[in-house]
């Protein structure tokens, strides 16, 4: 018999609105015995059944919900149903050649991520309760894809994120099943990349910007482009493939830039797309002082904050790079700017850009606002699933 968790009166608002998490301070009592990672039944303060999820006393996220049905067994058939629905959703919404197949809470499989790079899967398990299901999920995912004519030649695990420590789990990295060549060539938006699933960031590649990169192709033809925090050169290469006249990519990681340069060669763009290893925050004022100006400036920084407490410092960082980036855009040119931090809300990010534009004496005309690719769906009420904010502006002088 599963243990029963009863919430305090007035708590559980996020779960009741459709979210997936119950925090430690929302719980009143736990009746029955359990071990961390076990599935438990959740009741509201008055005994009303709210569903089932797995519990972990090591984490402030005490329970991650798996189902709203208290009599639903979390078994192989249940997992197959969740995985099939996730795959069907991707087939309906995105190019599935390379895409995120499972996005944790947003696919009702909390703490589990699976990315498909052509015929390779990279999986990441960040929650103790999902560890017991990991191998079954991998087997079922291979079966479901094979039924659709997609055959996976290898699976690699990248459960090496710091979030594992909060769950009381060790970091894990390595092959699931047989070894294979972990340098995988993919094609996205007509651009070819070599993805290193072992050493690349996260699971090897940032799939979430796929359609934002495509959106930039429309405005980069014939332009001089500056791509800041270029990492593997993804925005720079999309600009190049679209016919940009000259593209410069800046990043502080020489390892990432070596990959970017290789990707430029792979696409025959090495004559027009160049990369420099610099600290972007130092380089932007230097370019301004040197009289450099660009038709398009792209700002795709890493998350400046991963906690609510560090948000103030993040605001200063975003304001600074947007101010300096704006100064480098020719009048009538374009700025693309984004934040990948969940804690930097859309409203806060917009306010920060507005302040940067005022400080730089530039006027902004919004072209469009975008978020993460649909294979990283945003589950309403699960705020953690909404993290990427992406603006494209035309930049005008204040005249």
Q: Do 76-186 and 206-397 come out as alike in CATH topology?
A: no
Q: What is the pLDDT of residue 343?
A: 84
Our answer to whether residue 340 is catalytic in this structure is yes
Would you say 398 and 364 are in contact if contact means Cβ atoms under 8 Å apart?
no
Q: What is the pLDDT of residue 398?
A: 59
Q: What is the pLDDT of residue 303?
A: 75
CA distance 249 to 274: 6
Q: What is the pLDDT of residue 188?
A: 96
Spans in the chain with pLDDT lower than 70: 305-310, 398-399
β-pairing, 4-7 vs 224-228, is unpaired
Q: Could you count the other beta carbons within 10 Å of the beta carbon of residue 258?
A: 13
Instruction: Give how far the C-alpha of residue 5 lies from the chain's centroid of Cα atoms, to the nearest Å.
Output: 32
Residue 305 φ/ψ region, left for φ over 0, alpha for ψ in the -120 to 50 degree band, beta for the rest = beta
Q: What is the pLDDT of residue 309?
A: 65
Tokens of 144: 């479901």
Residue 111 φ/ψ region, left for φ over 0, alpha for ψ in the -120 to 50 degree band, beta for the rest = left
CA 168 to each of CA 11, 129, 222, 283, 317: distance values in angstroms, whole numbers, following the listed order:
26, 11, 52, 41, 32
Active-site position among 99, 338, 340, 396: 340
Domain 206-397 = CATH 3.40.228.10:
no
Strand partners, 52: 41, 67
How would CATH label the architecture of 76-186? Answer: 2-Layer Sandwich (3.30)
Domain ranges of the chain: 4-67, 76-186, 206-397
Domain 4-67 = CATH 3.40.50.150:
no
Using a pLDDT cut of 70, give the percent of the chain over it.
98
CA distance 394 to 326: 10
Q: 128 CB contacts (<8 Å, ≥6 apart)?
A: 36, 37, 54, 56, 58, 59, 167, 168, 169
Q: What is the pLDDT of residue 166?
A: 87
């Amino acid at each position: 018999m599963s243990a029963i968790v009863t919430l305090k009166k007035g708590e559980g608002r996020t779960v009741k609105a459709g979210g997936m998490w119950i925090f430690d301070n929302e719980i009143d009592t736990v009746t029955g015995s359990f071990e961390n990672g076990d599935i438990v039944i959740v009741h509201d303060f008055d005994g009303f059944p709210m569903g089932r999820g797995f519990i972990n006393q090591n984490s402030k996220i005490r329970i991650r919900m798996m189902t709203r049905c208290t009599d639903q067994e979390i078994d192989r058939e249940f997992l197959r149903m969740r995985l099939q629905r996730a795959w069907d959703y991707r087939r309906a919404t995105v190019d599935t050649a390379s895409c995120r197949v499972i996005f944790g809470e947003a696919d009702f499989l909390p703490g589990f991520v699976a990315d498909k790079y052509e015929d390779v899967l990279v999986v990441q398990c960040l929650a103790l309760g999902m560890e017991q299901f990991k191998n079954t999920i991998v087997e079922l995912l291979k079966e479901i894809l094979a039924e659709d004519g997609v055959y996976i030649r290898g699976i690699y695990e990248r459960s090496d994120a710091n979030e594992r420590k909060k769950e009381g789990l060790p970091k894990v990295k390595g092959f699931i099943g047989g070894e294979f060549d972990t340098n995988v060539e993919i094609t996205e938006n007509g651009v070819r990349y070599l993805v290193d699933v072992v050493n690349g960031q996260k699971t090897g590649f940032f799939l979430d910007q796929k359609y934002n990169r495509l959106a930039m192709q429309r405005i980069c033809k014939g332009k001089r482009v500056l791509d800041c925090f270029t990492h593997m050169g993804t925005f720079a290469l999309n600009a190049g493939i679209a016919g940009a006249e000259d593209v410069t990519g800046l990043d502080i990681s020489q390892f990432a830039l070596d990959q970017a340069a290789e990707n430029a060669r792979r696409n025959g763009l090495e004559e027009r797309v160049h990369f420099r290893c610099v600290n972007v925050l130092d380089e932007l004022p230097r370019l301004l002082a040197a009289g450099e100006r660009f038709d398009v400036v792209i700002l795709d920084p890493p998350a400046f904050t991963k906690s609510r407490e560090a948000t103030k410092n993040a605001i200063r960082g975003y304001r600074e790079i947007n101010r300096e980036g704006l100064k480098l855009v020719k009048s009538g040119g374009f700025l693309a700017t984004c934040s990948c931090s969940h804690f930097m809300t859309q409203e806060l990010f917009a306010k920060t850009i507005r302040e940067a534009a005022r400080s730089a004496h530039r006027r902004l005309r919004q072209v469009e606002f975008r978020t993460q690719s649909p294979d990283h769906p945003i589950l309403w009420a699960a705020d953690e699933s909404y993290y990427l904010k992406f603006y494209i502006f035309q930049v005008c002088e204040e005249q």
